[in-house]
Amino acid sequence: MASKKQVIIGLDWDGTVSDYSDAFAFLASRFNSAIIITLNEGITTAMAAKTLKLEKGAITVEICPDERVADSHQWKAEICVKYDVAIMFDDDPNVILACKKQGIHAITVREFIYRFKED
């Protein structure tokens, strides 16, 4: 019997999960697992699991190596390909473009505060 394909969500941390943790926890719960793809060296699996309300076994954290920071958008796309990510969310449009060039679905998380006017 063939094993069922795991459906993985890719998430940036700073400006994405850090800003919308409840929304991404809800979204991540709909996937088999989540991978945090970040430049933030302080992110741990335990922290990500707690924030996303997932079991530690359902989370992978990939932190950009120092030598790839200059082309981190390409590195993130490569990680998405490596893990066969179904969809990636990032606040950097360059990451989205790099992912799309690799055939990875990707969405920019960008808030335009001028749209939200308080009374």
Model confidence pLDDT, tens digit, residues 26-68: 999 999 999 999 999 999 999 999 999 999 999 999 999 999 9
Q: What is the mean pLDDT of residues 19-25?
A: 95
Length of the chain: 119
Q: Where does 8-115 sit in CATH, by number?
A: 3.40.50.1000
- How far is Cα 102 from Cα 106, in angstroms, rounded to an integer? 10
**pLDDT category, 115, cuts 50, 70, 90?**
low
Query: What's the predicted TM-score (pTM) here?
Result: 0.88
DSSP E strand stretches across the chain: 8-11, 33-38, 59-63, 87-90, 105-108
Q: Residue 96 has what pLDDT?
A: 96
Q: What is the pLDDT of residues 64-112, one digit of tens each?
A: 999 999 999 999 999 999 999 999 999 999 999 999 999 999 999 977 6
Collapse the DSSP code of 58 into the 3-class scheme (helix H, G, I; strand E, B; otherwise coil) and give the result. Answer: helix
The residue extents of the domains of the chain are 8-115
Q: Residue 21 has what pLDDT?
A: 94
**pLDDT category, 118, cuts 50, 70, 90?**
low
